């Protein structure tokens, strides 16, 4: 599933557009970064309500290239700059983690665990 398709499904906005040709096949939902660090995150979208610089760092470390920030949480300029540097896409949406998970599951993304 392409980035733009995911963005459309969750009715979100891509905050840092760049050429992302990834084909995402899985999703993981968590606000606990240590939990994210436990699993292999290839071709995975992270759905989270945690909007901090450590969300981006965790994505860098685990090779995540797409984050969906739920409930319209504020995404700082520092986060966007760091994400751009590491070619990580950020989608912001008003939807909750529960709602985003349901929508993407229904459209075929698989769970990591």
Partner 1 sequence: MKMQYFIQGGDFSAGGRASTEVKSIIKQFNISPEKIRRIAIALYEAEMNVVAHAFKGKMDVDLRPDHIRVVFIDEGPGIEDIDKAMEEGFSTASDEVRQMGFGAGMGLPNIKRNCDEMLLSSVPGKGTRLEIKVLF
Residue 40 binds partner 1 (CB under 8 A): yes
Residue recorded with tokens 């557009």: 17
Number of residues that bind partner 1 (CB under 8 A): 22
d(CA 70, CA 45): 13
φ, ψ at 60 (rounded to 5°): -60, -45
Q: Which of 34, 74, 77, 106 binds partner 1 (CB under 8 A)?
A: 34
- Measure Cα distances from 84 to 48, 57, 66, 70 in Å: 18, 12, 11, 19
| Binder of partner 1 out of 13, 78, 81, 87 (CB under 8 A) | 78
If the CB atoms of residues 16 and 58 are measured against partner 1, the closer one turns out to be: 58
CA 71 to chain centre: 13
Using CB under 8 A, pick the residue from 16, 44, 55, 92 that binds partner 1.
55
Q: Is 53 in the site for partner 1 (CB under 8 A)?
A: yes
Where does this chain bind partner 1 (CB under 8 A)?
A: 31-38, 40, 50, 52-55, 57-58, 60-63, 78, 86
């Amino acid at each position: 599933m392409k980035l733009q398709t995911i963005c459309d499904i969750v009715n979100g906005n891509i905050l840092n557009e760049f050429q992302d040709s990834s084909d995402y096949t899985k999703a993981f939902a968590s606000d606990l970064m240590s939990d994210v660090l436990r699993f292999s995150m290839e071709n995975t979208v992270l759905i989270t309500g945690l909007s901090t610089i450590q969300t981006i760092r965790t994505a860098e470390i685990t090779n995540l290239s797409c984050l969906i920030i739920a409930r319209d949480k504020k995404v700082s300029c520092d986060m966007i700059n760091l994400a751009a540097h590491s070619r990580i896409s950020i989608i912001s949406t008003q939807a909750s983690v529960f709602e985003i998970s349901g929508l993407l599951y229904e459209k075929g993304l698989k769970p990591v665990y």
